[in-house]
Structure 1
Amino acid sequence: MKENKEKMANLERLNSEQKEAVTHGGGPLLIVAGAGTGKTTVITERIAWLIEQGLAKPEEILALTFTDKAAGEMEERVDKALPYGYTDLWVMTFHAFAERILHAHALDIGVPDDFRLLTQTEQWMLVRENLEKFNLDYYRPLGNPTKFIHALVKHFARCKDEEIWPGDYLRYAEGLRIDLDGMEAAGGKSKINPKSKFQIQKEGVDESEIRRLEEVSNAYHVYQQLLLDRNALDFGDLINYALKLLRTRQQILKKYQGQFKYILVDEFQDTNFAQYELVKLLAGENKNLTVVGDDDQSIYKFRGASVSNILQFKDDYPEAKEIFLNKNYRSRQNILDLAYNFIQLNNPERLEVKLKTQKLKLKTKELTKKLSAQIQGEGEVEYYQADDESDEVEWVVNKIIELKNNNQEETWNDFVVLIRANNQAEAFCNGLTAAQIPFNFVASKGLYAKEVVRDILAYLKLLDNYHESMAMWRILNLPMIKIGVEDLMEINRFAGRKAQSIFETLKQIGVLNRIEEETRRKAAKILSFLEKHTSLAKEKSVKEVILKFMEDFGYSDYLLKNSDNKAFSYVRSLIKKAEELEKRSVDKSLRPFLQMVEWEIEAGEQGDLSKDLEEGPEAVKIMTIHTAKGLEFENVFIVNLADKRFPSLERKEPIEIPDELVKEIIPGGDIHLQEERRLFYVAVTRAKKRLFLTTAENYGGKTKKKPSRFVYETGLGEKFQIQNPKSKINPKSQFQNPKIIEQIIGGAEKSKIELPKAFSYSQLKAFETCPYQYYLNFILKVPTEGNAVFSYGKTMHSTLQKFMSHWQIQAEGQRDLFGGAKEKTKNILPSWEELLKIYRESWIDDWYENKWRKDEYRKKGEDSLKKFYEEILSAPPKVIHLEKGFNLKIGNYTVRGVIDRVDSLSDGKVAIIDYKTGEAKDKGKVDKDQLLIYQLAAKEVFGWEVEKLVYYYLDNNTEISFLGEEKDLGETKEKIIQLIEGIMNFDFK
């Protein structure tokens, strides 16, 4: 009864249009959701409603999103909406979905199932390493042979968005060649292909243009072959190979069409042609497809085709129900009116107009996209035109200070400075720094510019070559070394006079009379570290070398003392790069890693950054408008609104796809200006209470800048023709709350640190063992050294998972072949040689103290697996699940886990097995908590009846089994709640 009331309460909180969308039964549904109208709420409540009504299980719903962040937020909200736990919720990006089904079925279309996914930079490096194979002429200028690699890689990605295969491109170029040759032979009268003839005449295609197209199509073919030769795919391949799989393997298509009873697509306006084709395939005849979109917020679409998907959806599903969400729960009405009046300048290339002019009959009331504010009151809108950039920055900073002082209930997180491009951020970062206002520049790139990363790279360069004097100079200037300026200059002068490296000078530092004794000691320490770490680098991974540098130099301690939590995330990102390289490279030494970084920088790559908007202390956000999509703030500053800055100058694609190959509907009018207007519309609709637009006449050039045309198109140019009085930044006089500064900059307050949304057993165990270590590992995420036991354990788990998975796949194949006859599938095990091969491929080579210990572990693993194989061969278990994930609700919290193996027993009950490396302990000393959590999940999430819980010890292939009583399960729940509440209360002492 209580649960039904909660469900009703959830629906009662929705408005009529939202409720109609959530409770839509079967068939296609189009939801046009304006900014701030609660589209994420509608999607998550619809998922919960479908499950609660018994229309689908969690694993029978597929929700596809545009970004990982959106997928994470949606899953978190579904988690809160469902009263019980769940398993295998398919809420993910298009690429993650395609990757998952390809890993399961890639072999069915001749693609290796252990493929590696390349980043954009890795694609660039692949082309660069194999440049000679591309036979480039037009796209390989002599002075800069790598100039067009980025353009080519981007072009290939765009082709894949349109599902244009290399063969399609080659045939197109060959067709033009045949027609041109035919026209020349017949005096300009070709009868071969009238359409291509028209294309040739219309576009003025000549011999040189056809050679260019042939070069591009051949390069595309070579690139695709290089990927396959290396067992690699790029992001576009994921979607296209998934399409190929489902189109050519009807049995697999039917499997997924049968599984996904309902499909939901978020940000539908930004999906590309190939992604939409995938959605239509999966929806099949059931057509239980819900798409949510808003053409006015389309800022990622190819050539501005913001309306094409929605119009195509209406053509594909003419019977689709249409619901328009226009009640806004974010902004004040005058801000919404400003945005709506502005975006209408994109007419007639908007959905609102298209539906009327194309006379498409609506099944609901006529569409209006004018948003209606549900929050009373008028918002503050202000425009400021500054003399120069410094004046603009000062005005923005002082306005932030003024608003913060006048609105004490607001936090720094309520302020955002929106920029059109990342290179516009520096002036505002400097201004906020001068005013001692905490800020976070949320950028997707820039890892290599971070101080800690530059320090690490400098040290690695030194280990590779002691005579890199620029790198040595940086190490001498490390904050934890602190060599005095006079000593630094003396060392530099001596090195220059003797024409030698700084390293050689440090070795001779005894002859420098004017050097402080403390400096001599520090020099000796640095030289000893160099010797020690050079030896380490010959045997260990780059990650191990980085962590040893951080430890020995006291860098990690320095960052902890200075509360620089962000720096740890930069170190993790750099280590991740090193680990990714090691996975694909035989040579795991420093040189290949440094070469990769050098090539990335040469390619214009700045290094990827994780965009953790909610991590760490509260801060003013500085971000691009693209990054701000989906976010909201009390106070929004849209800056640099000057001509040619915003709207920006149009930059056409260096290599465009021929129109004949494009499958989407390209809009008319000024495509670039329409795109920029949609971007500005997104920026304005981020504002809840206050919106500030700023520009300057001088940004350092010779001529004065005119205000952006957008200023006048909003009507603000005429309304605010006042020059605000200048006031230099003076934080002491204008900012009267130093206590807040101390809290924000000096350390992390409880409420301002992002805590986990869900907890695993390993997290809870770490907190129970040592709360402070938990704080370092899971809250600050300080990179730490691994150990041999961990590497070995991970190797064994991975090996068994892959081996048992191969066994399942072979058994399923036999069932399909022999109609499910049990006698045919009982003993179909991969061979011992296959298991050994999997083990060797899964081997993790890190953190063994020496080669002897590594070989000892390797031998132990082989012996254990041999015994395991013999045992399983003699008595094959009936395995029904491997790596079975779950989300379990305990009180108000969520516990996540992955069960290694679930076996079906003869009486219909199940056994839950968890693998352990090491030897079996005394049953009375076994920590039962992990398996008791799994038993709770089995009961409350899966509805299984458990007969036994098993720890399987691989070293001597023995088991310890038990089963939790109701009392044990109740105590486990209480213990989990107690541990989680300790974390939530920041009890990390």
Structure 2
Amino acid sequence: MSSSPTLNQAQSQAVTHDNGPLLIVAGAGTGKTTVIAQRLAWLIEQKLAKPNEILALTFTDKAAGEMEERVDALLPYGFLDLWVQTFHAFGERLLKAHGLDIGLSNDFKLLTPTDAWLLVRENLDKFDLDYYRPLGNPTKFIHAMIRHFSRCKDEMVTPDEYIKYAENLVLDSDSALGDAKEILGDEKKRLYEIANAYHTYNQILLDNNALDFGDLINYTLKLFQTRPKILETYRRQFKYILVDEFQDTNLAQYELIKILSAPLQNLTVVGDDDQAIYKFRGASISNILHFKNDYPNAKLVTLTENYRSAQSILDKAYQLIINNNPDRLEEKLKINKKLIAKKTITGQIEEIHANTGIEEARQVVEKIQTLKLADEKAKLESSWNDFAILIRSNATADSFMHALEQAGVPFQFLASKGLYREGLVLDIISYLKLLDNYHENPAMWRVLNMPFWNIATEDIVKITHQAKKKTWSIFETLKHASALGVGETGIKNIEKMLGLLAKHAELARYESVGKVAYAFLNDSGYLKNLVTKSAEGVSESMRQIMFLKQYYDTIIKFEESNAEKLTKHYLAYLHYVLESGEEGSLRGTDEDPEAVKIMTVHSAKGLEFKHVFLVNLVEQKFPSTNRSESIELPDKLVKEILPEGDIHLQEERRLFYVGLTRAKESVFFCHADDYGGTRKRKPSRFLNELNLPVNVIPAKAGIQKNPLDSRFRENDNKKNILAPNAVIPPHFSFTQLKAFATCPLQYRFAHILHIPVKGSASFSFGKKSNTNPFIGRSFNFL
């Protein structure tokens, strides 16, 4: 192989295994990707298989692309016919080619979860629902049902099996009397309802020539099970099959590769049970735990030489994860999985303890600055990219973003969701809503505050106060701006804005929503301002342009999928999309600006950083509270062999382990006593399991507190979207305090700026405040 890196003994054994099943247990940082690429290249170079005779299955397109690139670099000439794909892409490819053989059209539509929600909502009357269709909120359980149906498909439970189970539900009339009999009867009725809904759901998909992601695997299984000639064709083609991240496969995916790899059984699976963190996606850890039971003659190779972390960090990680025994491969197969560091560096492990969540964030930022400065003084290679703040959920990122921003430290929040909460996207949607209805007060307020109109804050306050007083819409009040003391410049700027509104409202009558949105961005100067600042290297503007492109992709998708493309049609569609709970996907880019990275531990899997900060390490945050599914799959229908211990706690511990093993040189365990509320928070039990050294950065004393302190301090994380000179009154009424406790933004808009909503003096607020730096869903802007 050209430019082949040196392999250690275990890696070499894995790469050069010829025939038969192979289980590679690859610990964190042990060179798993290198081994996979080398193995693919070795099979080709040894002429054991041609490139198109090897099937390599991964879980992300990014992983598939990286694998192909590495193999291409190892071989003397390129191969374009490698089958390196995700499970779903593989299923889609086969069904596009052979769907007709099992009664499917080969031009089917693949539905996202949001697409499925919209389809179910549109056909809700076809479902015979009672229990799962409350009169006050008939769409309440749509998401839960779709997740339930997805779980059924992961477990290979068909609608017929489900209905049969409901019919055979045992009701022993002799032992079940009175209330017990009534309860069992209600349960049977509920199961009948959900089983029949599952059947209806699948039928609606077929009627609409649509498949969901679970169908891609299940229909491929059906293709192989009912069309033996097609199965035999692909068995002959794929002499070797390799599966990456095997611990993340579900039962249906495992069944697919078992069928396809027979009878040769040249099946290589690579994984680590200690990094199984996708149970919520349907992953079954039992697959890797029981692989040796299914393939008793499988060769086992364990990779334990770690090329990433200091030994002290690896020792702490091992000390933590053994608490999942006996439900680990190390115990079940009697192997040694303790990782051995190849780097001779001294790791730094510290605990940061703060009084409050805000103070925790400040101490984290101070530590980042100290480490960066120390590296620079020592003339070591130093970059903000060396630092990662790992959070359990995106909702907890705000305090760290705020602290980094206050300190002038560049940061990048790598969230996978939240496009529809981004400021630029909210601006566009608010403007489009105004074109459909000038009297949409929250949208008008947002548009008024766009900086390129140059409308003074004091003028906006005058206008909104008058609108509140007269119970007018803001649009109606703008017509009387001169009578309110708005100056000549303000009147001129308001007239400019209203003129564009009128122009674009006319355009919206006959042009597509994409053209209307572009006209707004172009005519207002919004786009020019973004492009100019981006060219000057302003990172926030570059980020906003990325969001703009991603948002426009959603508009293009809407226009491609709908015959009616006007703004009013798009807004009606968007209403249902948002009602479904869709937040909008945020995709990363190939560009990697130098910045501290903030991301969830799930997102950090596969990455590494010089310094890692694991934050918010208190009970009920990490480990998180166990939230069971709204609709549970009956135990008798679950085919997965479940571990003996606490399933949720074990997964949370594995997630903590993944976060810990991202660190190369230092890791900081951070927690606070107060994140709001009245009770002092308990440190995470995982900290006790680590038995940390004494070098704790202590909580800083003397932080002032009062009954509203935590509320105000948490709200400090919001971007300043109000007038800087807005005055907080010296006394609070009960109504004001109640409004503040419900939502700080609600209080500030209702009782300081007095912004009205359409048709009444009450307000359009959501039920809880959104922690996004932008207004987000605190207002019903959308």
TM-score range, shorter chain: 0.7 to 0.9
1:689 matches 2:660 = no
User: What is the alpha-carbon distance in structure 2 between the residues aligned to residue 259 and residue 172 of structure 1?
Assistant: 39
Identify the residue that residue 744 of structure 1 maps to in structure 2.
Answer: none
How much has 1:664 moved relative to structure 2? Answer: 1.3
Contact 1:395 1:726 in 2 (8 A): no
Residue 58 to residue 568, structure 1, CA distance change in 2 (3 Å): farther
Alignment match of 1:88 (pick from 77, 81, 88): 81
Contact 2:105 2:209 in 1 (8 A): yes
User: What is the alpha-carbon distance in structure 2 between the residues aligned to residue 10 and residue 426 of structure 1?
Assistant: 44
Residue 412 to residue 548, structure 1, CA distance change in 2 (3 Å): same
Unmatched segments (≥5 aa) in structure 1: 1-5, 190-201, 357-366, 729-989
Identify the residue that residue 778 of structure 2 maps to in structure 1.
Answer: none
What is the identity, as a one-letter code, of the residue corresponding to 1:454?
A: L
User: What is the alpha-carbon distance in structure 2 between the residues aligned to residue 725 and residue 609 of structure 1?
Assistant: 37
Deviates more, 1:544-553 or 1:718-727: 718-727
Q: Secondary structure at the match of 1:572?
A: helix
Identify the residue that residue 26 of structure 2 maps to in structure 1.
Answer: 33
Unmatched segments (≥5 aa) in structure 2: 535-540, 704-782
How do 1:364-763 residues align onto structure 2 when only pairs under 5 Å count? 367-408=335-376, 409-496=381-468, 499-506=471-478, 512=483, 514-563=485-534, 564-612=541-589, 614-716=590-692, 719-720=694-695, 723=698
Residue 65 to residue 204, structure 1, CA distance change in 2 (3 Å): farther
Residue 598 to residue 727, structure 1, CA distance change in 2 (3 Å): farther
How much has 1:331 moved relative to structure 2? Answer: 0.4
How much has 1:469 moved relative to structure 2? Answer: 2.5
Contact 2:355 2:699 in 1 (8 A): no
How do 1:156-555 residues align onto structure 2 when only pairs under 5 Å count? 156-176=149-169, 179-180=170-171, 183-184=172-173, 187=174, 206-301=184-279, 307-356=285-334, 367-408=335-376, 409-496=381-468, 499-506=471-478, 512=483, 514-555=485-526
How do 1:15-34 residues align onto structure 2 when only pairs under 5 Å count? 15-34=8-27
Contact 2:64 2:84 in 1 (8 A): yes
What is the identity, as a one-letter code, of the residue corresponding to 2:385?
A: N
User: What is the alpha-carbon distance in structure 2 between the residues aligned to residue 345 and residue 303 of structure 1?
Assistant: 24
How much has 1:153 moved relative to structure 2? Answer: 1.1
Alignment match of 1:109 (pick from 102, 118, 142): 102
Alignment match of 1:55 (pick from 48, 73, 83): 48
How much has 1:188 moved relative to structure 2? Answer: 6.0
How much has 1:303 moved relative to structure 2? Answer: 10
User: What is the alpha-carbon distance in structure 2 between the residues aligned to residue 410 and residue 675 of structure 1?
Assistant: 34
Q: Secondary structure at the match of 1:719?
A: coil
How much has 1:495 moved relative to structure 2? Answer: 4.2
User: What is the alpha-carbon distance in structure 1 between the residues aligned to residue 623 and residue 301 of structure 2?
Assistant: 32
What is the identity, as a one-letter code, of the residue corresponding to 1:172?
A: Y
Q: Which has the larger radius of gyration?
A: 1
User: What is the alpha-carbon distance in structure 2 between the residues aligned to residue 188 and residue 652 of structure 1?
Assistant: 29
User: What is the alpha-carbon distance in structure 2 between the residues aligned to residue 142 and residue 650 of structure 1?
Assistant: 29
How much has 1:725 moved relative to structure 2? Answer: 5.1
Residue 624 to residue 268, structure 1, CA distance change in 2 (3 Å): same
What is the identity, as a one-letter code, of the residue corresponding to 2:487?
A: E
Residue 70 to residue 205, structure 1, CA distance change in 2 (3 Å): farther
| Structural RMSD (CA) | 2.4
How much has 1:473 moved relative to structure 2? Answer: 2.0
Contact 1:267 1:294 in 2 (8 A): yes
Output the TM-score relative to the length of structure 2. 0.84
How do 1:827-976 residues align onto structure 2 when only pairs under 5 Å count? none
User: What is the alpha-carbon distance in structure 1 between the residues aligned to residue 45 and residue 504 of structure 2?
Assistant: 59
Output the TM-score relative to the length of structure 1. 0.67
Contact 1:295 1:306 in 2 (8 A): no
How much has 1:556 moved relative to structure 2? Answer: 1.8
User: What is the alpha-carbon distance in structure 1 between the residues aligned to residue 182 and residue 598 of structure 2?
Assistant: 46
Q: Secondary structure at the match of 1:263?
A: strand
**Cα deviation digits, residues 765-816 of structure 1 (max 9, x gap):** xxxxxxxxxxxxxxxxxxxxxxxxxxxxxxxxxxxxxxxxxxxxxxxxxxxx
How much has 1:518 moved relative to structure 2? Answer: 3.3
Deviates more, 1:34-43 or 1:534-543: 534-543
What is the identity, as a one-letter code, of the residue corresponding to 1:540?
A: E
**Cα deviation digits, residues 362-384 of structure 1 (max 9, x gap):** xxxxx210001000022000012
Q: Secondary structure at the match of 1:243?
A: helix
What is the identity, as a one-letter code, of the residue corresponding to 1:271?
A: T
User: What is the alpha-carbon distance in structure 2 between the residues aligned to residue 557 and residue 379 of structure 1?
Assistant: 48
Contact 1:305 1:667 in 2 (8 A): no
Deviates more, 1:307-316 or 1:388-397: 307-316
User: What is the alpha-carbon distance in structure 2 between the residues aligned to residue 535 and residue 46 of structure 1?
Assistant: 62
How much has 1:540 moved relative to structure 2? Answer: 3.0
Identify the residue that residue 726 of structure 2 maps to in structure 1.
Answer: none
**Cα deviation digits, residues 885-936 of structure 1 (max 9, x gap):** xxxxxxxxxxxxxxxxxxxxxxxxxxxxxxxxxxxxxxxxxxxxxxxxxxxx
Deviates more, 1:683-692 or 1:251-260: 251-260
What is the identity, as a one-letter code, of the residue corresponding to 1:641?
A: L
Identify the residue that residue 4 of structure 2 maps to in structure 1.
Answer: 10
User: What is the alpha-carbon distance in structure 1 between the residues aligned to residue 90 and residue 52 of structure 2?
Assistant: 13
How much has 1:306 moved relative to structure 2? Answer: 5.8
Contact 1:307 1:351 in 2 (8 A): no
Q: Secondary structure at the match of 2:129?
A: coil
Residue 107 to residue 529, structure 1, CA distance change in 2 (3 Å): farther
User: What is the alpha-carbon distance in structure 1 between the residues aligned to residue 284 and residue 211 of structure 2?
Assistant: 28
User: What is the alpha-carbon distance in structure 1 between the residues aligned to residue 410 and residue 211 of structure 2?
Assistant: 41
User: What is the alpha-carbon distance in structure 2 between the residues aligned to residue 699 and residue 554 of structure 1?
Assistant: 41
Contact 1:303 1:666 in 2 (8 A): no
Deviates more, 1:447-456 or 1:297-306: 297-306
What is the identity, as a one-letter code, of the residue corresponding to 1:515?
A: V
How much has 1:63 moved relative to structure 2? Answer: 1.2
1:43 matches 2:36 = yes
How much has 1:210 moved relative to structure 2? Answer: 0.5
Identify the residue that residue 153 of structure 1 maps to in structure 2.
Answer: 146
Identify the residue that residue 132 of structure 1 maps to in structure 2.
Answer: 125
User: What is the alpha-carbon distance in structure 1 between the residues aligned to residue 73 and residue 520 of structure 2?
Assistant: 43
What is the identity, as a one-letter code, of the residue corresponding to 1:618?
A: E
Identify the residue that residue 67 of structure 1 maps to in structure 2.
Answer: 60
Residue 281 to residue 205, structure 1, CA distance change in 2 (3 Å): farther
**Cα deviation digits, residues 54-74 of structure 1 (max 9, x gap):** 333333221111222322322
How much has 1:464 moved relative to structure 2? Answer: 1.4
User: What is the alpha-carbon distance in structure 1 between the residues aligned to residue 182 and residue 374 of structure 2?
Assistant: 64
User: What is the alpha-carbon distance in structure 1 between the residues aligned to residue 73 and residue 516 of structure 2?
Assistant: 42
How much has 1:36 moved relative to structure 2? Answer: 0.3
Identify the residue that residue 136 of structure 2 maps to in structure 1.
Answer: 143
Contact 1:152 1:655 in 2 (8 A): yes
User: What is the alpha-carbon distance in structure 1 between the residues aligned to residue 549 and residue 615 of structure 2?
Assistant: 32
What is the identity, as a one-letter code, of the residue corresponding to 2:340?
A: S
How much has 1:151 moved relative to structure 2? Answer: 1.3
Contact 2:435 2:504 in 1 (8 A): yes
Q: Secondary structure at the match of 2:508?
A: helix
Residue 537 to residue 284, structure 1, CA distance change in 2 (3 Å): farther
User: What is the alpha-carbon distance in structure 2 between the residues aligned to residue 482 and residue 30 of structure 1?
Assistant: 64
User: What is the alpha-carbon distance in structure 2 between the residues aligned to residue 115 and residue 569 of structure 1?
Assistant: 30
Q: Secondary structure at the match of 1:539?
A: coil
Contact 2:250 2:284 in 1 (8 A): no
Residue 513 to residue 425, structure 1, CA distance change in 2 (3 Å): closer
